[in-house]
Amino acid sequence: MAEKIRERAYAKLNLTLDVLGKLPNGYHDLAMVMESVELGDDVDITARNDGEIHLNSNLPWLPKDGRNLAVEAVKVFRTAIGDESLGADIYLRKRIPVGAGMAGGSTNAAAVLRALNRYTNRPFNADRLRELGLKIGSDVPYCVCGGSRLAEGQGEILSPLPMPPECHVVICKPGFSISTGELFKKIDERSSRIRPDTPGLIAAMEQKDVAGMARRLYNVFEDVLPRNLREVGELKSRFLDQGALGTVMTGTGSAVFGIFDDYDKAADASVELGEYCRDVFLTKFVDEIEI
Ligand code: C5P
């Protein structure tokens, strides 16, 4: 029997998210500063040679079929190597909240691509794995290596960025989720909007200026949240009350995170915020993964 491979699948956060327009394929042209955080899932994979794909998870309600991006990743990988007999037993130990804007499904798929690439003696380099990732979802190319990146286009044009300065990150996932499709539709209906200062943010990261970085966190989707989701704004106020230097929603939500320069403040904030959100995580940024 093939040996079990364990891959760590880090969650992603958006320090900025800007929507620049529409692409010819109907997707949106984006500009996003993306970061991996230590919070992640464990993805255990044992390859099979009978073409079957079985998925299990500590969250019994997660889809186990092709709707789960981890299953889709096996299919995309085996087609790319031309061996339809490749299958896998996958176990997802989920810690990343689902429906949070933290690329949980995409990072699981990227972990499957890395694991199968390793299992088959690395037929693909990182660029080729990212190309395969794009067949699965827009965030998967980033998740192949993660780390500190500017993601443009559909999300697949990736440029390395300096690591953020040393800081502590508290993430809160409210009980509700937000429809990605609905937010993109609302963005299309709005012609003018405030844009993130992406170059300023990158300069602050280069200068290791935590406060300058935290001040420039910005996500254009916050401006088009439905009225009944004011909770996101309230959560951000609570972060600031707790001493966060900056706070923002990630992706299309619903998770919100705050940046702290002091560990004790971040730890106290995560206890306080636990009164409003069941899922609260104290974590930090991590560098990219070697494939
Ligand atoms: O690629 P993925 O399936 O993760 O995207 C989910 C949805 O987000 C798409 O169906 C699309 O509506 C929207 N999207 C977009 N432009 C992007 C990425 C995602 O419009 N660059």
pLDDT at 2: 84
The alpha carbon of 138 and the centre of ligand 1 are apart by a number of angstroms equal to: 6
For residue 157, pLDDT beyond 90: yes
Non-local (6+) Cβ contacts of 69 within 8 A are 105, 106, 108, 109, 136, 137, 140
Q: What ligand 1 atom has the least distance to the C-alpha of 153?
A: 21
The residue annotated as part of the active site, out of 12, 94, 173, 236, is 12
| pLDDT tens-digit series, residues 83-139 | 999 999 999 999 999 999 999 999 999 999 999 999 999 999 999 999 999 999 999
pLDDT at 11: 98
184 C-beta closer than 6 A to ligand 1: yes
Question: What is the CATH superfamily name and number for domain 168-286?
Answer: GHMP kinase, C-terminal domain (3.30.70.890)
Q: Whose CA is nearest to atom 14 of ligand 1?
A: 27
The alpha carbon of 85 and the centre of ligand 1 are apart by a number of angstroms equal to: 30
d(CA 116, CA 105): 17
Task: Read off the pTM.
Answer: 0.97
Non-local (6+) Cβ contacts of 264 within 8 A are none
Average pLDDT, the chain: 96
pLDDT at 45: 98
Q: What residues does each domain of the chain span?
A: 5-160, 168-286
pLDDT at 7: 98
pLDDT at 67: 96
d(CA 169, CA 249): 13
CA-closest candidate to residue 2, choices 75, 41, 52, 42: 52
The residue annotated as part of the active site, out of 18, 41, 139, 236, is 139
The alpha carbon of 166 and the centre of ligand 1 are apart by a number of angstroms equal to: 31
Mean pLDDT score, 165-184: 95
The alpha carbon of 27 and the centre of ligand 1 are apart by a number of angstroms equal to: 6
pLDDT at 226: 87
| pLDDT tens-digit series, residues 244-272 | 999 999 999 999 999 999 999 999 999 99
pLDDT at 58: 98
CATH T-level topology, domain 5-160: Ribosomal Protein S5; domain 2 (3.30.230)
12 noted as active-site residue: yes
DSSP label of 245: S
pLDDT at 99: 95
| pLDDT tens-digit series, residues 206-229 | 999 999 999 999 999 999 998 878
Mean pLDDT score, 5-21: 97
| pLDDT tens-digit series, residues 65-81 | 999 999 999 999 999 99
For residue 192, pLDDT beyond 90: no
101 C-beta closer than 6 A to ligand 1: no
Q: What ligand 1 atom has the least distance to the C-alpha of 140?
A: 4
Tell me the pLDDT band of 153, cut-offs 50, 70 and 90.
very high
The two beta strands, 87-93 and 53-57, are: parallel
